Structure 1
């Protein structure tokens, strides 16, 4: 079966690393889509000669908005499968075919990555990040009713049914919780699978802080109860 697999790579000021990330995906039967969220660095020059679709926001809107732009593009081009893949090199390209196989064999609509299903993956997560993720799991479970082991893993693979159903309105990082709400609302079939995240000095320097986590909870609460 020749399914069209679109790998969506949201990017904001990832010019230092995005070329290496895309190179790791080249040669695979994927359509690569970079969504540049109004970067002010060398992102465009880093990817301009690579075999990717390049989409750009003129105003910085956030990762949720970038993913939605990519999903809209994938729908227009009749994608069968969509992959969410971070630009900073944290995700493992070898997990993509494994997740696609699970999507098919388990007959689910979306496969969600988890850092908490294998001991070796959990050990790689910095201690402070691990604490934030456990708190996020609790908050997400209470807000969405989906008690996942890893509430904010950006590596996901979805089929056409999920692609059509999910419409992200949360432009920034609260989109991860909103996506879970939409999984439940649309009765999408889901499963978690272990994935390994590579934490570099670069990725940790730009990672989530306490203040950011609090802002996410505020955004999600407003979205759930006041919109």
Structure 2
């Protein structure tokens, strides 16, 4: 598809943000070099994260209280879709430094070249991502559950790096505010019969993210979401 602007200029990164002050400035400053349009949704942070993201070059929207990652993603998607009618690609991107802009570039290229609605990042198609054995087992179990209940086939059902075309983004309406939003997005992709593919991505589990206990607690939250569905 021939475009007057580059794919990167036609992309919005949607970044949910909650108390990531020590790292979010560097994350945004690095990402904005490639993707000039970034919206961070400060989900009730108490550490000034929103101001740090704003200074680094992002548009910042603020929830007065913490509503959860699902709510932050929906706020960001709604803003980007309405604010920029020329935008073609919308990417959910974490604020803690785990995602890479080069992976985003591969994903939006797939959207464009293969005429897809959604490209989902997968840690299990990448040989470099290093995660704990427990997290790997839990994520694999979540994949089996999602594949059985939604009818679509994925290798990684709870990866926060997702790229949508405008049509694909318009079909996503997140009502699950917290971790259950990942399963809700998968279900909506299936129900809307969106054209999807997976792309290998490298997730960087840093000392910072491990110190926050994200690897363990996210896995526990995933199990809870599956049980409650």
Same fold, TM-score > 0.5, yes or no: yes
Cα displacement string for residues 24-68 of structure 1 (whole angstroms, at most 9, x for unaligned residues): 112224301110110111203322322211001112111111000
**Which segments of 5 or more consecutive residues in structure 1 lack a partner in the other structure?**
222-227
Distance 1:211 1:155, change over 3 A: closer
Secondary structure of 1:59 counterpart: coil
**Which segments of 5 or more consecutive residues in structure 2 lack a partner in the other structure?**
none
Secondary structure of 2:199 counterpart: strand
C-alpha separation in 1, matches of 2:127 and 2:52: 35
Equivalent position of 2:222 in the other structure: 213
C-alpha separation in 1, matches of 2:20 and 2:79: 21
Shift of 1:145: 1.6
Shift of 1:72: 0.3
TM-score by length of 2: 0.90
Equivalent position of 1:90 in the other structure: 98
Question: 1:16–1:42: 8 Å Cα contact kept in structure 2?
Answer: no
C-alpha separation in 1, matches of 2:215 and 2:17: 14
Shift of 1:102: 0.8
Matched, 1:115 2:123: yes
Question: 2:12–2:35: 8 Å Cα contact kept in structure 1?
Answer: no
Shift of 1:172: 0.6
C-alpha separation in 2, matches of 1:44 and 1:199: 23
C-alpha separation in 1, matches of 2:154 and 2:35: 30
Equivalent position of 1:152 in the other structure: 158
C-alpha separation in 1, matches of 2:174 and 2:107: 22
After TM superposition, list the pairs within 5 Å mapping 1:1-227 onto structure 2.
Answer: 1=3, 2=5, 4-77=10-83, 78=85, 79-121=87-129, 124-204=130-210, 205-209=213-217, 211-219=220-228, 221=229
What is the aligned residue count? 218
More divergent stretch after superposition (142-151 vs 30-39):
142-151
Question: 1:144–1:177: 8 Å Cα contact kept in structure 2?
Answer: no
Distance 1:175 1:98, change over 3 A: same
